[in-house]
Structure 1
Amino acid sequence: MTRLLFACLLLLSSALATAQDRRPISHEDLWLMPRVAAPVVSPDGKWVVFTVTEPAYDPAEQVVDLWLAPTDGSTPPRRITASKAPESGPAWSPDGQRLAFSAQRDGDSAPQIYILDLARGGEALRATSISTGARLPQFSPDGRRILFTSNLYPEAASDADSKRVAEERKARKHSARTYTGFPIRNWDRWLDERQPRLFVQTIGRDDARDLLGGTTLIRSPGYAGRMTNSGEELDAVWAPDGRSIVFVASTNRHNAAFAFTHTDLWQVPVDGGEPRRLTGAADAPEAEGPGYTQPRFSPDGRTLYALLSPHTGKVYNATRLAVFAWPSLRAQPAIELPEGRSVSTYAISADSRSVYITAEDAGHEKLYRATAGRAGAELAFDMARGLYTGISSSQRGATVLVGLYESATEPPEVVRIDPARRTHHRLSSFGVERAAALDMAPVEHFWFTGERGARIHNMLVRPAGFDPNRRYPLFVVMHGGPHTMWRDQFVLRWNYHLLAGSDYVVLLTNYTGSTGFGEAFAQGIQGDPLKGPAEEINQAADVAIARYAFIDGDRQCAGGASYGGHLANWLQATTDRYRCLVSHAGLVNLKSQWGTSDIAYSREVGQGGPHWEDIPLWQEQNPIRYAANFRTPVLVTFGENDFRVPINNGLEYWVALQRQRVESRLVVYPDENHWILKGENSRHFYREVSDWLGRWLGTADAPPASP
């Protein structure tokens, strides 16, 4: 008994020493943590490939390479590329012997497709040489050809045409942009004339064929791909017989100023011909309809799946999984998740009998399972911590399911998920040791019932070196969107633990409008863009203060970015409970935001109509209208290249603050967009926030200022 007691005391003292050795997270810890991207499993399930970014504050020193790991976990991952240029979009050949990816290496004027022969070894060989660049490769079912995407000017009918047109544009003496329709911008870039095209090329030959060139489809004024943060994509996949390509495209994007737009599924023969619309009404191309993205075939080739986003007149609609028999294209019941949750990613089992789906659920992203032929899906297993993203499944043999796992205290790592055992095991450990050295408490979940009857989910983060006998100020942080969710994940731009430091408790509330709580809850914000969510955030702060004795209710600040910045500005207009505010990319004027943002129609739908109609909401929930009430000290930050919430809103807010003599600080990042993405700018931003909170809330070493 004495020996057992001694051993227990030894283990306890060791654990306490380990905990005491941990330190608060620094910006260097956060920024330099290796970043692991979504994995792609080999067709036979034996290997998984993924990119790893090794960040640096100097972009020239950042490294992005491909890594390979066995899915049985028998050996650690190994680096399989080591060039200066980053690789992206890795894809396996059907036999699992080769990898295709996109990279811009020495001598390339634009990114090209490279193929790495894993069986023979050696360097990757360039497969394409198209002047407009190549991305997102996909091997044909027989492994002899490669499919890829490139952006061309509409009049270009060949690569020689592309070079000629590019030279003509370059030789222009003016720099004017001319538009005849909407949209004209996306996030941080002006849209140009170039459009996405699909190419098929025989491996080993320079015979790239433009499958869409000269077609009626690309001459449509509304032709476009699926819009992404960096451009647009066609989500192309090979049909099982290798004779055609299935892809997504819009024919009504030019209607975006006055209607919801969407993408349909299309099919084009690899030998050329006019694409055939597979979904939607061919005789009514301008009509609003459900949007399809990310098509994928089952391994047995009998079923086509695609993400489906319906249009119901609501700003938000949960994503379903559309199902079609192939090749008849007979529609099957769409797969829907319990309580109207939204499909995030999906993977089809090797035997084609099951579909695995990830979906947001109360701060997590959990794994669901659907059986082929049935419309419903059910939770594969529950989880109390973290989330799964980016899942991928093998195509033959026993199903091997891989993905990323992360939590607020664990950076993303590649894992093999075992649904039968309701667990996973790590295949990579790039950030494990580094994270273990940091004092980061797991997030704590709690709920309360809002004044309007909805159950509201919250997460709370304690500071490093937490002392239960100390009273800590509260920093209320509001997420963007609004149709997103605070998640138990390792966040880069608003990292919970870096914000908390050693001095603050961080509160994260999933107000009405958040995803992960069912479609109806997310839709509940329509017609109430700011007031209702802000009231829930204030109530959450009251509940947290009453629930946790270590929170000092006399010292509170609030902040957020994007929609979270909108809410910060609404709090400025409607309450003086906070000692300070932080507003990044936040609108202050609903009307000017409508007319200057890169998206417009969804905003007026949310308000009930355009602002020139007699709709009181445009005035009643417009922060600038209450400028006479502005009195809370506020840190205002903006990226000058932000087209989603253009800087005019920041300048308008700043002038009102100065007019009302509100103590405030404006920080503009000329080389940033909606997000602060550059290392040194990010470090500066976090320092600004820390200094602002320290001034008004105080720290362990300094008392707060008086508002």
Structure 2
Amino acid sequence: MSKRVITPEDLLQLRSVTSPALSSNGEQLVYVETTLHNEKNAYAAELMKTSLTDPHSTVQLTQGEHVNRLPQWSPKEEILAFISNRTGTPQLFLLSGWGEPKQLTEEKKGVTDFKWSPDGTQIAYTSVQLPEDEKEDKEDKQLEPLVVNKMKYKSDASGFWQGEYTHVFTVDIQSHKHSQLTSGEMSYTLLDWMSDSQQVLVTSVNQKDTDFVFTNDLLILSVETKEQVQLTDQTHVISEASVSPDGAYIAMRAHERAYENATHFEIYLLELATTTWTKLTADWDVQLGPVVAADFLQNTVDPGLVWSQDSKSISLLVSSNGNVDVYQVSVDGTREALLTGEQHVYGFALHPDGQTLVAGISTSGHPGDLYLTKVKTNEVTRLTTSNDSVLDELEVVQAEEIRFTHEEGHELQGWLMKPSGFSEGESYPLIVEIHGGPHAMYANSYMHEFQTLTSRGFAVLYINPRGSLGYGQEFVNAVRGDYGGGDYRDIMAAVDYTLEQNPWIDETRLGVTGGSYGGFMTNWIVGHTNRFKAAVTQRSICNWTSFYGVSDIGYYFTEWQIQADLNETDKLWKHSPLAYVNQIETPLLILHGEKDYRCPIEQAEQLYIALKRREKTTTFIRFPEANHELSRSGKPSLRLRRLEAIGQWFDQYL
């Protein structure tokens, strides 16, 4: 059967298979299967259950096209807890006997996260709590002005801050009795339970004025007395912490901001009996955790630091050289690779035997499935086939790795995708894709945008330039203070190398695109060279001076990354693509979300007006109700429209 090329609409056919969760005995697996619906312009995520010994026994546990996510088994029984928006807001539900789910919470703003207690009698959860005068709905509520007294007053993810804080609660599984463990004008992040099931591990910022506070502290909360014990002293950025099953240790993933947000995380081990901290990964120059720039998978969950049953080791995801692997770090600091390869492991569950994994794995040519992996024998068995019927119809292009040494001495890694239906002797245009961040990593992972471009007859080149994670601390830090310098030279060197190695690419038909930092680089490139005949800039930055005050992260991100503030406007302007607008000759499509608070739409407006005033070739598309996550989790109809606009622009000018 002849296969057809991939279209943007295939997003509606393909399924994300994520969030594997194993029962306490390791026999049953539950996972999340997410689909997009264009008619309802929404996402649906259903819970699926299967047996590790009989994958053909798969059953769907939830119905109704709601978003059901974050499944977690009770440590003691075959009871499943999960978050669902079936009642309108995301609430906590229990499922046992595979009947109708029972609702555990009725929080006004919903539940954001939860953890089972080790003894299976309680669940701790977090919920955003409104100020007292906002908790009760008022009839005929008048529009009220927003009074702002802090710099961190808005968020791309949650909008304007209205005085709400995230607090920690517990609920008893039998009695359904709720207890609020935290209160006051500070937010808490739930991490884990202590092994006695009487205390909860959280992080918080114990300070009211947080405008210039970027660290947090590790705390233990007593469920009975609500007393707090502080374990750290505001010296680290803590992203994760986990308690060993025997209660002897707390493992923490954190860093000390040596390179601000470009700093690699480390694993620290606290021995509770001696209150001794040990850095387990001091000699390991990798990024701990997943940092892949991708556009397809939904409801992925970083499992964090996963303890073995014997409390002797921790398993975690590690990003390195375009791959995300699973490694194990023992309490004495030794390391072992559990699952590696040219692939993106986007989640895993560790079997009680400590030597078996269920892992979600994607590659450049496959959206992702769950696999059972035996560590000692390297035996791999595929457990899910959710996309097989669709993929059987599609011509999916595999990316080919490229590696070369830059003339400045460092090695660069990237990938080249040939056009669908590639034929020797034919000539093809090339599109260069640039990831955001800048501290992210392109990987051996499926990218739907890239596939839709190859289906239109374009080759696609994507690399990890200076500033990308996955290649050591020095490499990731090299972009700070040098935006448009070494990173620009890396990208152009990759273009030169690719053209030299692939004479079938038509060097007179080059395109470039990227989003966020990738949008900044797209703007910078077309302002510094006319080699590209078409460009698409997405959710971009063009003016660091205005970005400083309008982005939700502007004032500190600009100081960290450009290493200048409003007292150094000459430097901010020097690194602003808008300063070079007179040199832009490349036809430029500008895509931006109306509610993007990360790179606000005024950045796009400035660039568009500057180009139009100079009678340059440009078009501006504004996406309603869309924030910075448009390409990854925006409304399905807008995601399709975006992909179509990119493809049509390159069709027109290449």
Please tell me the TM-score bracket, short chain as reference. Answer: over 0.9
Which of these residues, 144, 156, 165, is aligned with residue 187 of structure 1? 156
Displacement, 1:336? 4.9
Instruction: Tell me the CA shift for residue 373 of structure 1.
Output: 1.9
What do residues 390-445 of structure 1 show as CA deviations (whole Å, max 9, x unaligned)? 22223x44543222101111112122222222353221110133223321221111
1:102 is matched with 83
Which stretch shifts more, 47-56 or 136-145?
136-145
Structure 2 equivalent of residue 55 of structure 1? 36
Q: Which residue of 2 aligns with 1:650?
A: 604
Are the equivalent residues in 2 in contact too, given 1:581–1:633 (CA < 8 A)?
A: yes
SS state at 1:601 partner = helix
Higher strand proportion (structure 1 or 2): 2
Q: 1:353 aligned to 2:312?
A: yes
2:248 aligns with one of 277, 298, 302: 302
Q: Does 1:693 align with 2:650?
A: yes
2:166 corresponds to: 196
Shift, 1:52, TM fit: 1.0
Instruction: Give the counterpart letter for 1:175 in structure 2.
Output: E
Shift in alpha-carbon separation, 1:431–1:582, aligned structure 2, 3 A: same
Query: In structure 2, the residue corresponding to 1:541 is in which secondary structure?
Result: helix
| CA 496–327 in structure 1, closer or farther in 2 if over 3 Å, else same | farther
Instruction: Tell me, yes or no, if the aligned pair for 1:401 and 1:417 is still in contact at 8 Å.
Output: yes
Q: Which runs of 5+ in 1 are unaligned?
A: 1-17, 157-163, 226-233, 282-288, 698-707
* Structure 1 residue 639 corresponds to structure 2 residue 586: no
CA distance in 2, matches of 1:654, 1:56: 32
Give the length in aligned residue pairs. 636
Distance 2:99 2:510 in 1: 59
Distance 1:109 1:122 in 2: 21
Q: Shift of residue 132 of structure 1?
A: 4.4
Aligned AA (2:388) = V
Match of 2:122 among 111, 121, 145: 145
Return 322-331 or 41-50, whichever deviates more.
322-331
Q: Name stretches of at least 5 consecutive residues in structure 2 with no aligned partner.
A: 291-303
Conserved 8 A contact 1:253-1:261: no
2:17 is equivalent to residue 40 of structure 1: no
Q: Secondary structure at the match of 2:81?
A: strand
Any residues of structure 2 matched to 1:107-186 within 5 Å, and which?
Answer: 108=87, 110-117=89-96, 120-154=97-131, 156=132, 165-167=134-136, 172-186=141-155
Question: Helix, strand or coil for the counterpart of 1:240?
Answer: coil
- 1:572 paired to 2:542: no
Residue 598 of structure 1: aligned partner: 552
Alignment of 1:436-455 (within 5 A): 436-455=392-411
User: Following TM superposition, by how much is the alpha carbon of 1:72 offset from its aligned partner in structure 2, in angstroms?
Assistant: 3.3
Larger radius of gyration: 1
Q: Please report how far the alpha carbon of residue 88 of structure 1 lies from its aligned counterpart in structure 2 after TM superposition.
A: 2.1
Distance 1:556 1:132 in 2: 48
Q: Are the counterparts in 2 of residues 45 and 400 from structure 1 also a CA contact under 8 Å? A: no
After superposing the two structures, state which structure 1 stretch, 428-437 or 175-184, moved more: 428-437
Q: Is the contact between residue 12 and residue 35 of structure 2 (CA under 8 Å) also seen in structure 1?
A: no
Amino acid aligned to 1:38: S
Supply the distance in 1 between the matched residues of 2:252 and 2:57 (Cα, whole angstroms).
34
Which secondary structure does the structure 2 equivalent of 1:574 belong to? coil
Q: Which amino acid aligns with 2:319?
A: E
Please tell me the residue identity of whatever aligns with 1:340: V
Once the two structures are TM-superposed, the CA of residue 563 in structure 1 deviates from its matched residue by: 0.6
Structure 1 residues 661 and 482: CA distance shift in structure 2, 3 A: same
Q: 1:589 aligns with which of 540, 543, 548?
A: 543
Does structure 1 conserve the Cα–Cα contact (< 8 Å) formed by 2:288 and 2:316? no
Q: Which amino acid aligns with 2:24?
A: P
Deviates more, 1:471-480 or 1:349-358: 349-358
Name the SS of the counterpart of 1:625 in structure 2: helix
Deviation at residue 63 of structure 1 after TM alignment: 3.0
* Distance verdict in 2 for CA 1:129–1:583, change over 3 Å: closer
Using the TM superposition, give the Cα deviation of residue 569 of structure 1 relative to its aligned residue in structure 2, in angstroms: 0.6
Say whether 1:527 aligns with 2:481: yes
Instruction: Measure, in 1, the Cα distance between the counterparts of 2:208 and 2:440.
Output: 24
Structure 1 residues 352, 437: CA separation in 2 closer, same or farther (over 3 Å shift)?
farther
Structure 1 segment 208-227 matched on structure 2, within 5 A: 208-213=178-183, 218-219=184-185, 223-225=186-188
Hey, what's the Cα distance between the residues in 2 that align with 1:253 and 1:557? 48
Give yes or no for the alignment of 1:90 onto 2:71. Answer: yes
> Would you say 1:79 and 2:60 are equivalent positions?
yes
Quick one: distance in 2 between partners of 1:322 and 1:255? 25
Q: Distance in 2 between matches of 1:87 and 1:26?
A: 27
Are 2:43 and 2:67, in contact at CA under 8 Å, matched by a contact in 1?
no
1:11 corresponds in structure 2 to none
Return the offset for 1:260: 5.1
**1:247–1:167: structure 2 CA closer, same or farther, 3 Å change rule?**
same
The aligned counterpart of 2:296 is none
SS of the equivalent of 1:484 reads coil
Q: 1:544 to 1:109 in 2, by over 3 A?
A: closer
User: Is 1:322 the equivalent of 2:273?
Assistant: no
TM-score, with normalisation over the residues of structure 2?
0.92
> Is this contact kept in 2: 1:363–1:488, CA < 8 A?
yes
Please show how residues 267-666 of structure 1 align to structure 2 within 5 Å. 267-280=220-233, 289-326=235-272, 328-336=274-282, 338-344=284-290, 345-374=304-333, 376-380=334-338, 382-383=340-341, 385-394=342-351, 396-397=352-353, 399-422=355-378, 424-492=380-448, 495-599=449-553, 600-613=555-568, 616-666=570-620
CA displacement at 1:635 relative to structure 2:
0.5
Q: What is residue 160 of structure 1 aligned with on the other side? A: none
TM-score by length of 1: 0.86
Structure 2 SS opposite 1:75: helix
**Aligned AA for 1:689?**
I
CA offset at residue 122 of structure 1? 2.2
**1:266 and 2:245 aligned:** no
Shift of 1:356: 2.1
